[in-house]
Amino acid sequence: MRFFILMLPGLLLGQADWGTYRGGAAQTASSTLAQITKANVGKLAPAWTFDSGDAEKGTEIQCNPLIVDGVLYGSSAKQQVFALDAATGTLLWRYDPSEGKPTRGRNRGLVLWQAGKEKRLLFSWRNWLMALDPGTGKLVESFGVRGRVDLREGLGRDPEKVSISAPTPGILYKDLLIQGSLVPEGLPSAPGDIRAYDVRTGKIAWTFHTLPRPGEPGYETWPKNAWQYAGGTNSWPGMALDGKTGTVFVPTGSASFDFYGANRHGNNLYANCLLALDAATGKKKWHFQFVKHDVWDRDLPAPPTLVTVKRDGKLVDGVAQITKSGHVFVFDRATGESLFPLTTVDTPDSDVEGEKLARQQVLPTKPAPFSRQQLTEDMIPNVVAKERFRQVKSGPQFTPPSKEGTVVFPGFDGGGEWGGAAFDATTGLLYVNANEMPWILRLVPRPAAKDVESAKNLYTRNCAGCHREDRGGSPPEFPSLAKLEAGKRGEYERVIAKGQGRMGGFGHLPEKQREAILEYLMTGKDVASAGVAGSTLIEQAYQTDGYNKFLDPEGYPAVKPPWGTLNAIDLNTGEYVWKQPFGEYPQLADKTTGTENYGGPLVTAGGLLFIGATNHDKQFRAFDKATGKLLWSTTLTAGGNATPATYMVKGKQYVVIAAGGGKSGASSGGTYHAFALP
């Protein structure tokens, strides 16, 4: 009888780990555990909760935790790293990289490396890559300098004048940690070099320049010497690894500045690309560019997913990449050849002086987009919103940004988002949750630099693109700066200099200019500050007037629902198996609108698809993965804007998710919720 239990799938006694971000290097967000099934998921009940205790207004938790040998490793609302007993939620240790100082940001996960008895728990905080002993939570002194490596170093720029972080974990290949980064979307910005670090020493083993240097392929797609002043082209959403072939698949984002490229004429390789690199050396095997000369902020938003699909009766190893525009591209993993036909679309000319767009772009013919592609007036139910729509431009994908305002649909947050897709290898189904929120992109003149800068001019040039000229911001992602607290002046000084969260620091500005900006924000005084901004950049003539969602007067998306969807796509055929609205607003009578959603799905061998993501209703749900039927749901303490994980300890399967909330004005939380069968 005991032998039978040991062999029965999903009832294996002992451990079943979740040892890598999103469940494995293939980034499939899937599990072979099957103790929790379609038949019994309705009995799922709370097993334990852990409150990190450091949530405050505007904080989030996006962490997909690791569970190895009965220990859960996660991060808190303020990026403290901790270890829990995975069966009880009991705290084992906690490490605070800020040492009690005010901090804010995002951490999506950790990396656990082991060779024999030697172990490292690697994570990033601000500009630091850090290594902890997973048994004690203490820094590993032999890694870098006393346990830390400065990510600003090795980029070919002055480390004190660049801003960089890495909220998404890198990926392991043997003894190398291959790491991407988050850099400012405005100028000046750090380059998005892909780097491999020795996990024992912290030394850089290889670098791939996403901004090509002289003599490197792709250099001709930029202005001469652009690598010295341009930025972006970074990989912020995570990577996938094929360990058998030693290939790492790296998605990249747009070049900085995101919305106007007069100082970067050309196609701008390797921005907006999927790169296939030799994991041991960083040498390029192939690449595919999704958007040439991007001015729409069409970063690749999620890790690629390694898949195996059927073509002409044969199994083909592929790699699937979702996009913000709502498309799924599928490539042959070895060659980069598309496994579905592609079509070329002409790009309209920009009417903004200085801008030169690529003449053509490429889109897949299958699968059909999982988000609507163009906003038209008949899709807008509100009269006031219709009047606003008539004042801006709206067209198909790649309609240029404009001074009047251009609708970007789906918006800057997708379509697809950072939570990524889940893939079920047994059925060939890809699951992806999507947003259907229109945004309005409007270009406005950027004030020119002067020999003697006023504080207001400095603010408008450097800050208004996110926080608006009136300092009102677009809360909560871009907070209002209209009423700063006098007692936090020191904290504000640090944020302006060093950056925080998605905001880059302004170390490139002279200290007097940073002081002038802060004085303007604190008191409204438009003091003069000698000296120009001190940048080697070609002058940027335009910036945006903020990140503006297109909302109706009541604050809902100015488009007919659904505003969020959940999709199941057969990658063997390119057809949809099911598609439905996802999420609801509790205050609306119509519960089928769908909502914005952040955080990805988890698919299991028990026939289930688990997902949180819908922060407006705080629900954590389990669906029948074959049909999309809702089988179970529970209300979390805050929105579950993180990807769940599943694991087994002592014969019991658990599902855990972080409830951090904080998106789109929703309440914040700091609790991890674990569920199991009674």
Q: Where are the domains of the chain?
A: 447-539
Average of per-residue pLDDT values in the chain: 92
Backbone angles phi, psi at 467, to 5 degrees: -100, 5
C-alpha 493 chain-centroid distance:
27
Radius of gyration of the chain (CA): 24
User: What single-letter DSSP state applies at residue 264?
Assistant: S
Contacts (Cβ under 8 Å, ≥6 apart) of 74: 63, 65, 66, 81, 82, 84, 110, 658, 672
pLDDT of residue 138: 98
Asked which of 4-8, 188-192, 227-231 is least confident by mean pLDDT, the reply is 4-8
Does 2 have pLDDT greater than 50? no
Share of the chain above pLDDT 70, in %: 94
Tens digit of each residue's pLDDT (9 = 90 or more) over 332-366: 999 999 999 999 999 999 999 999 999 999 999 99
Identify the bridge partners of residue 440 per DSSP, sorted by sequence position: 407, 548
Distances (CA, A) of 482 to 309, 467, 469, 473, 485: 53, 10, 10, 9, 10
Identify the band that residue 477 occupies on the pLDDT scale cut at 50, 70 and 90.
low
**Which residues does 465 contact at the CB level (< 8 Å), separation at least 6?**
186, 543, 544, 545, 546
Q: How confident is the model at residue 64 (pLDDT cuts 50, 70, 90)?
A: very high
Instruction: For domain 447-539, give the CATH superfamily.
Output: Cytochrome c-like domain (1.10.760.10)
pLDDT for 92 equals 98
What tokens appear for 74 in the block? 């996660």
26 vs 509, more confident: 26
Look up tokens 């690791």; give the residue. 66
More confident residue, 534 or 519: 519
> Please, which pLDDT band fits residue 531 given cuts at 50, 70 and 90?
low
Write out pLDDT tens, residues 430-476.
999 999 999 999 999 988 777 667 877 777 777 876 787 787 776 65
Tell me the three-class secondary structure of 427-465, residue by residue. CCEEEEEEECCCEEEEEEECCCCCCEEEHHHHHHHHCHH
